[in-house]
Amino acid sequence: MEYTVSEKAFSNRDVYIGNFKGILPHGNGNYTWSDGTVYEGDWEEGKMTGKGKLIWTSGAQYVGDFSGGYLHGYGIFTGCDGSFYQGSWRMNIQHGMGKKQYCNSDIYEGSWKEGVHEGNGRYSWNSGNAYIGSWKGGKMCGRGIMKWANGDLFNGFWLNGLRDGSGVYRFADGGYYFGTWSRGLKDGKGTFYPVGTKHPSLKKWCSSLDYCNDGTSLSGLLNSEESRAQPSVKRSFSEKLSISGLLRNSSRISHKAMSLDKNWTHCDPSQEFIRYDSLSALSHASEEGQPEAQDNSSVYEREYMQGVLIKERASNYTEISRKSKQRNKIAVMQEKRSCIDIFGAHSRSYYLMLNLQLGIRYTVGKITPVPVREVRSSDFGDRARIRMYFPRKGSQFTPPHYSVDFYWKDYCPMVFRNLREMFKLDAAEYMMSICGDDGLRELSSPGKSGSIFYLSHDDRFVIKTLRKTELKVLLKMLPSYYCHVGEHENTLITKIFGLHRITLKGGKKVRFMVMGNMFCTELRIHRRYDLKGSSIGRSTDKDKIDENTTLKDLDLKFEFHMDKLLRESLFKCDFFTRGAFDSSQRPSTGNS
């Protein structure tokens, strides 16, 4: 059939200039949509097929293979937000081997499936952390190595983005822990090798685990996949492109594919993928630069239950190295000083934070395995307590730690365990958030109570110290509070997850309340109010108000108009309007 070159304008104001086969674009041509989107490249009987270039009005563009009107084959997508993808496509979605640099400078290179990470690949965060290993459904899953910017490294198995299964954790100071994890927490038996202790060969350990489920070497898979990740077309696209377009499927590309222009950046199309090291190379490198092992150091056999150390035994114990003795002397001196100034400003807060994390981890780990049941009246009583002594050197039930000796008390553990489930809070997530390696950070008190406030690293939880009278009020309120939460699933009342007490040497007692942080939201908060339902002293000096000021009751001078049904629902579920508590019983949460 004879090919013709002409220009055709459509009724929807789209324009095509190029070759035709009959009435269909065929060969090479240029198609411009009415919204400004342009395609230049090859056509086959009315569909984009072959090599081409698609440019959106936002500035995003794709250069690569097309088939049947889809982005299909190998191509490069450049976005307007500073992100970029180079690799394989299948019907408009990343599929196969490819590299993506996100707009925040994170980089993933490896295998994709239906637009998400699946298979083997490496992810580098802009913070300096890096993971190389297996992925499934966009999450770390299977064998992999995570190396943190601070020098810590984990080599083992993952599930849904969390450490799960056997693995070895190398600390930045050179210590090692070989053991098992469950949902991100140590769980089961393991062995801790302090700095300078002779430990098993990581090469042998890695070789025993360096296999996928089908028995093939993971390192080999990474190397073979890497070779396939190279571009199949080496020549420049500019040599092939002239002008091209679309006819019947123009709306599909110009609108459906428009969503692709949100997460991609520019990169030289001729640049090849960066070659990444195999798992074994990274794990073996973790042994380099470590202090020479000594045979005469202590090794600790440990057993954990959901992150809580429940048993520890020193094995092969002989004389500890001189450096270890020096560290112990320094630690003892620090402990003596801390006992003197523990009620000073910074030291008090730091040691209380450590004690709080130890206590919560112990309590949650102890109560979580208990079978779920309805609470009884005895669960609210004076005997509904968990008590434990935490000596600095550790005990049969508690781990050694770097804080001071303290006594721990947890109030109504079964009640709060059920409350956490009512609030759909997973026990492992709770411990990871409060007791994880990232720790807590102290906040300055927004009120006059002098309380200490801590915030979890992910901003989900606020921890506040309480006076004895406030603790008593909360315990008195607890039965009604529990019933209310059970009856009103969507209650707006502050979520309370635990009440605890720490007793230090000398009898000093510090009480804590753990609650949800209502300011942990994606919404922009332009004003904050601390509302206590009182008018006495409840206004803020206008000269002291700025964008960070927490305002009070009398500063709230707005009328709120809302839908009638929404208003009725709000009053029906409101905790205090139901008369559940007398106003004199309400404690100050500082989180209203």
Write out 187-238 in H/E/C secondary structure. CEEEEEECCCECCCCHHHHHHHHCECCCCCEHHHHHHHHHHHCCCCCCCCHH
Residue 343 and residue 79: Cα distance in Å, rounded?
55
Q: What confidence score (pLDDT) does residue 253 get?
A: 45
pLDDT greater at residue 260 or residue 541: 541
Of 232, 216, 214, nearest to 224 by C-alpha is: 216
At 542 the three-state DSSP class reads helix
Q: Return the amino acid letter for 176.
A: Y
pLDDT above 70 for 256: no
CATH of 347-520, picked from 3.40.50.10470, 3.40.47.10, 3.30.800.10, 3.30.43.10, is 3.30.800.10
Which helix (H) or strand (E) segment holds residue 358: the answer is: helix 345-367
527/557 Cα distance (integer angstroms): 12
Report the range of poorest mean pLDDT among 344-353, 371-380, 406-415, 435-444.
344-353
What is the per-residue pLDDT for 279? 42
Name which of 75-79, 253-257, 385-389, 479-483 the model is least confident about: 253-257
Q: Is the pLDDT of residue 427 over 60?
A: yes
Task: Give the alpha-carbon dihedral of 410, 414, 420, 421, to 10 degrees.
Answer: 160
For range 465-476, the mean pLDDT: 93
In the block, which residue shows the tokens 């459904």? Answer: 137
Mean pLDDT of the residues in the chain: 75
Q: What is the pTM of this model?
A: 0.46
Does the structure show a pLDDT above 60 at 16? yes
The neighbouring-strand residues paired with 223 are none
From the number of C-beta atoms within 10 Å of its C-beta (0-12, 13-18, 19+), residue 396 rates as: exposed
**Which residues are paired to 463 by β-bridges?**
454, 514
The predicted pLDDT at position 509 comes to 92
pLDDT over 60 at 414, yes or no: yes
User: Is the per-residue pLDDT at 250 higher than 50?
Assistant: no
CA-to-CA distance for 462 and 549, rounded, in angstroms? 18
**Helices 413-422, 345-367: inter-axial angle, 10-degree rounding:** 80
Helices (H) and strands (E) in the chain, counts: 10, 29
The more confidently predicted of residues 501 and 292 is: 501
More confident residue, 415 or 578: 415
What pLDDT shows up at residue 108? 94
Domain ranges of the chain: 6-156, 157-198+298-315, 347-520, 525-579
Per-residue pLDDT averaged across 569-588, rounded?
50
Q: Could you tell me if 75 and 89 are in contact, meaning their C-beta atoms sit under 8 angstroms apart?
A: yes
pLDDT attached to residue 79 = 86
DSSP state of 555: G
Pick the CATH number of 6-156 from 2.20.110.10, 3.10.180.10, 3.40.50.10540, 3.40.50.1820: 2.20.110.10
pLDDT at residue 449, as a whole number: 63
Q: What is the distance between the alpha carbons of residues 390 and 399, in angstroms, rounded to a whole number?
A: 8
Task: Inform me whether the pLDDT recorded for 230 exceeds 50.
Answer: no
Q: What pLDDT score does 202 carry?
A: 67
Q: What integer pLDDT is reported at residue 535 of this predicted model?
A: 85
The answer to whether the CB of 254 falls within 8 A of the CB of 35 is yes
Q: What is the pLDDT of residues 293-345, one digit of tens each?
A: 444 467 888 888 778 787 888 875 343 334 444 544 544 454 444 333 333 44
Q: How far from the centroid of its chain's Cα atoms is residue 541's Cα?
A: 40
Written as six digits, the tokens of 258 are 């428009």
Residue pLDDT, tens place only, 359-384:
998 888 888 888 888 899 999 988 89
In tens, the pLDDT along 107-142 reads: 999 999 888 999 999 999 999 999 999 999 999 999
Structure tokens that stand for 227 in this block: 């070779």
Residue the block writes with tokens 């208003």: 567
- Map tokens 């002239």 to a residue: 242
The size of the chain, in residues, is 592
Q: In this predicted structure, which of 60-64, 112-116, 195-199 has the lowest mean pLDDT?
A: 195-199
Measured between alpha carbons, how far is 223 from 49 in angstroms, rounded to an integer? 32
Percentage of the chain exceeding pLDDT 90:
28
Q: Which has the higher per-residue pLDDT, 575 or 403?
A: 403
Strands 528-529 and 550-551: parallel
The alpha carbon dihedral of 315, 316, 317, 322 has a sign of negative
Pick from 195, 204, 206: nearest CA to 293: 195
